[in-house]
Structure 1
Amino acid sequence: MNLSRLIEYASVSIGQGAPQKSDDFSKEGNPFIRAGSLESLTNNGTLDSLEFISDESAKRNKLKLYPADSVVFAKSGMSATKDRVYKLTRSCYVVSHLAVLLPNEKTHPDYLRLVLQRSKPSTLIKDPAYPSISQGDIENFKLPFPPLDDQIRIATVLTRAERLIAKRKEGIKALDELLKSIFLEMFGSGEKWETEKLSGVSEIVSGVTKGKKYADKELFEIPYMRVANVQDGHLILDEIKTIAVTKEEIDRYLLKAGDILLTEGGDPDKLGRGTVWNNEISKCIHQNHIFRVRVNAERINPIYLSTLIGSFYGKKYFLRAAKQTTGIASINSTQLKKFPVIIPPLPLQNKFADIVEKVESIKAKQTQSLAELENLYASLSQRAFKGELDLDRVLVETQDIASLRSRLAT
């Protein structure tokens, strides 16, 4: 497919500076999009959740109102490296860190969004240390633009795939919310049960320290869990690193099924981040920024405890107990050991764990389906922008094409 300059298919402008006074914002008017807004908006967030600016405030601050179907992405700051591209669904005001593209009569707005997502505006950044993209470079960005009818068909195929992916993600999120609801229903605030310090019902161990000097000791290479691997309620195992340690350290830090892994710090809202280890990797240890909690199985079910730690109850404790500096919060072993564990009857804990395992089984199938859909989308996208899709097989209502042509012409 031949490449054309973006300016031939859309006008390019830049947003305006954000108002500085709190009373410039209100609950009426039109949404104001900041660079940070794009993370939410490109993940099924809504414009209704943003700040709003009234007509009067916009006039006072000399803001321009951009129409629905304009396409925006970050052109400066670290957000410019993220390649988040969003099509406005209603008229909005836009911050100066964003580029705003207004499609002309030759361009389908969704196609423009999709081709930019695929081609990545961040490739225009000249100095990664100071991410910025000039208006001229955006205007001269070479992109594939087939005839409008083909754009419509490509956009139809890819947006259908996007909707399927979004629906699958919503299903997975609903399962997570279901478990939270069941936990609250079964255990409530926990006031009717005793509490005990975490150190009284478990063994808590910090992991191996990287970069140690071992002199002449025999070392063994073994996989280990890093902070990046341990997420809230799940593990990310795409990249597993290894470390050379002694046999004694392997014996001390070796993970066992049922161990709870907890990170020691990060963003305040992620305190208490962790999950249960299920021998996903044979013979694996953990680094020193991760705590391993091994419960007394006669009193505590690890799935119950992991959920309690990750609940509002757990996060409230860690936020109160954590050391916080410049947006980073961390907990130490002493604070973790003092965590007050609510101890319901073990059969009730086990009943909850059984429910979790059933829901997680459904979730695993949904996650696998999501991965397949995302792979399909990537394949369709690659073929579409190379001109390799048989677009004659894409069903688009004739009136839909006529309606779009009419809308673009006005």
Structure 2
Amino acid sequence: MSKDQSAEMMSRPLPKGWSWVPLGQYVENHDGRRVPISRSERESRQGAFPYYGASGVIDTIDGFTHEGEFVLIGEDGANLLTRSKPLAFLTRGKVWVNNHAHVLRCKPGFSNAYLAYYINSINLSAYVTGTAQPKLSQSMMNKIPIPVAPPEQQTEIVAEIEKQFSRLDEAVANLQRVKANLKRYKASVLKAAVEGRLVETKGEWRMSTLGDEGSIAGGLTKNQKRNDLPLKLPYLRVANVYANELRLDDIEYIGVAEKELEKLLVQKGDLLVVEGNGSPDQIGRVALWNDAIPNCVHQNHLIKIRFGDGVLSEWALVWMLSPVGRRAIEQVSVSTSGLHTLSVGKVSRLPIGVPSLEEQFRIVAEVDRQLSVLRGMVTAVDANLQRSKSLRQSILTNAFFSPSPIEGSTA
């Protein structure tokens, strides 16, 4: 909310019995009891009490700074402007709050939940200072105008918001279940594909390895010397390769020697495999290079596979994405200090079933057909999940700023 918007808002007629009140006159401030605890200390003090920061619960701890019902409002951080998460939180019971959240309690007779919902319904940018590190100081926070309804109407507004949120939460939970089922269906399609059950197949499949069916190569190592090389080419990094997905919005350039080009250039149809990741379910992420960027090379944390005439790259991709392929990748990766890693040698030894080329074409076509339908369904679910976020904000806004707020009449 800009300052002009704030003035415009306060000029709106309120329902009878309502009034605009600066937040500082509406609450008791309990910031004085906040205590920050470093992450290293919290690791040795894990307990049953939630530890709050600017964006909600970030840990647990063995003690508490506040007991009762409070409204916490983030004091600093990008979320003050981006609002990717709620800014105000209602807490009950015993909690620990660090110095990145203001701790407030409404004066007797008024609803803490009403205040929390109202803060989450508005844009506070007019009260935020700083750009590199946005901050909502206590003095600026105290100026925020609150449309204070009579206590009984506050209770009714909170009850209506929570009723609508409950319905919305149920709908979101259903959408999440649908999305989980679609994920399982995708895995079942891929599993059926590599087990020869997705389309009718004839003859025995031969078992082979990726190294026997194609050439496996590592990529370039980034170092200072490359800055002096005159030839600069776009290069692919781990951040560009996901499971059956290329994210090419952020591409960097690097110096490359002419003699390296034969090894490092990626060609359409190459598979790119992520070498290492701290999470076992992310190790071996694989995507098919589509030649979207000409003359592209790859870093050493991406392993490149280029197949010969006997195996379609698209078939190998299906195999590696399937539960069978994923299990094989996770089994050969090793963990060193929590990092799961692959190597050119390990990727070369990964097994692959090889049907005839004609069957590979048919299986890949059927997988593409079914996954295309699936992607459309996932897109629709994601759109509805995104819409639910807008609906949540609309519920809050309408609760306070609809032409006829709950049980209110314009004076």
TM-score, normalization: structure 2? 0.59
Which AA in structure 2 matches 1:237? L
Q: Does 1:229 align with 2:240?
A: yes
- The unaligned stretches of length 5 or more in structure 1 are 26-31, 43-49, 52-57, 403-410
Partner of 1:47: none
Partner of 1:271: 283
Partner of 1:210: 222
The CA deviation string for residues 201-254 of structure 1, in whole angstroms up to 9 with x for no partner, is 1211111222263699752x3221111111233222221112232344344322
User: C-alpha separation between the residues in 1 aligned to 2:285 and 2:213?
Assistant: 19
Q: Does 1:330 align with 2:341?
A: yes
Q: Cα–Cα, structure 1 residues 330 and 167, in superposed 2: closer, same or farther, change >3 Å?
A: same
Partner of 1:284: 296
Aligned-pair distance for 1:289? 1.1
Partner of 1:200: 212
User: C-alpha separation between the residues in 1 aligned to 2:97 and 2:219?
Assistant: 45
Q: Does 1:147 align with 2:159?
A: no
User: C-alpha separation between the residues in 2 aligned to 1:143 and 1:201?
Assistant: 69
Q: Cα–Cα, structure 1 residues 350 and 277, in superposed 2: closer, same or farther, change >3 Å?
A: same
Q: Cα–Cα, structure 1 residues 239 and 215, in superposed 2: closer, same or farther, change >3 Å?
A: closer
Q: Cα–Cα, structure 1 residues 252 and 88, in superposed 2: closer, same or farther, change >3 Å?
A: same
Aligned-pair distance for 1:372? 12
- Given the alignment, which residue of 345, 348, 353 partners 1:342? 353
SS at match of 1:177: helix
User: C-alpha separation between the residues in 1 aligned to 2:368 and 2:171?
Assistant: 26
Which AA in structure 2 matches 1:262? V
Aligned-pair distance for 1:336? 1.6
Which AA in structure 2 matches 1:183? L
Partner of 1:105: 111
Which AA in structure 2 matches 1:333? V
Does structure 1 conserve the Cα–Cα contact (< 8 Å) formed by 2:272 and 2:305?
Answer: yes
User: C-alpha separation between the residues in 2 aligned to 1:82 and 1:267?
Assistant: 29
Paired residues in the alignment total 359
User: C-alpha separation between the residues in 2 aligned to 1:319 and 1:200?
Assistant: 20
Q: Does 1:308 align with 2:319?
A: yes
Q: Does 1:354 align with 2:365?
A: yes
Q: Cα–Cα, structure 1 residues 216 and 105, in superposed 2: closer, same or farther, change >3 Å?
A: closer
Does structure 2 conserve the Cα–Cα contact (< 8 Å) formed by 1:255 and 1:283?
Answer: yes
Greater Rg by CA:
2
The CA deviation string for residues 23-43 of structure 1, in whole angstroms up to 9 with x for no partner, is x88xxxxxx75679x89x99x
| Pairing 1:40-55 to 2, within 5 Å after superposition | none
TM-score, normalization: structure 1? 0.59
User: C-alpha separation between the residues in 1 aligned to 2:138 and 2:361?
Assistant: 58
Does structure 1 conserve the Cα–Cα contact (< 8 Å) formed by 2:270 and 2:288?
Answer: yes
Aligned-pair distance for 1:287? 1.1
What percentage of residue pairs aligned between the two structures are identical? 20
User: C-alpha separation between the residues in 2 aligned to 1:208 and 1:272?
Assistant: 18
Q: Cα–Cα, structure 1 residues 302 and 16, in superposed 2: closer, same or farther, change >3 Å?
A: same
| Pairing 1:96-175 to 2, within 5 Å after superposition | 105=111, 107-113=114-120, 115=122, 141=141, 145=145, 147=147, 175=182
| Pairing 1:249-260 to 2, within 5 Å after superposition | 249-260=260-271
Q: CA RMSD in A?
A: 6.0
Partner of 1:294: 306
SS at match of 2:245: coil
Task: Tell me whether 277-286 or 343-352 shows the greater mean CA deviation.
Answer: 343-352
SS at match of 1:213: helix
Which AA in structure 1 matches 2:194? F
User: C-alpha separation between the residues in 1 aligned to 2:143 and 2:289?
Assistant: 46
Partner of 2:186: 179
Does structure 2 conserve the Cα–Cα contact (< 8 Å) formed by 1:208 and 1:288?
Answer: yes
Q: Cα–Cα, structure 1 residues 62 and 235, in superposed 2: closer, same or farther, change >3 Å?
A: same
Task: Tell me whether 178-187 or 348-357 shows the greater mean CA deviation.
Answer: 348-357
Does structure 2 conserve the Cα–Cα contact (< 8 Å) formed by 1:65 and 1:91?
Answer: yes
Q: Cα–Cα, structure 1 residues 21 and 392, in superposed 2: closer, same or farther, change >3 Å?
A: closer
- The unaligned stretches of length 5 or more in structure 2 are 8-21, 198-203
Does structure 1 conserve the Cα–Cα contact (< 8 Å) formed by 2:269 and 2:289?
Answer: yes
Does structure 2 conserve the Cα–Cα contact (< 8 Å) formed by 1:71 and 1:109?
Answer: yes
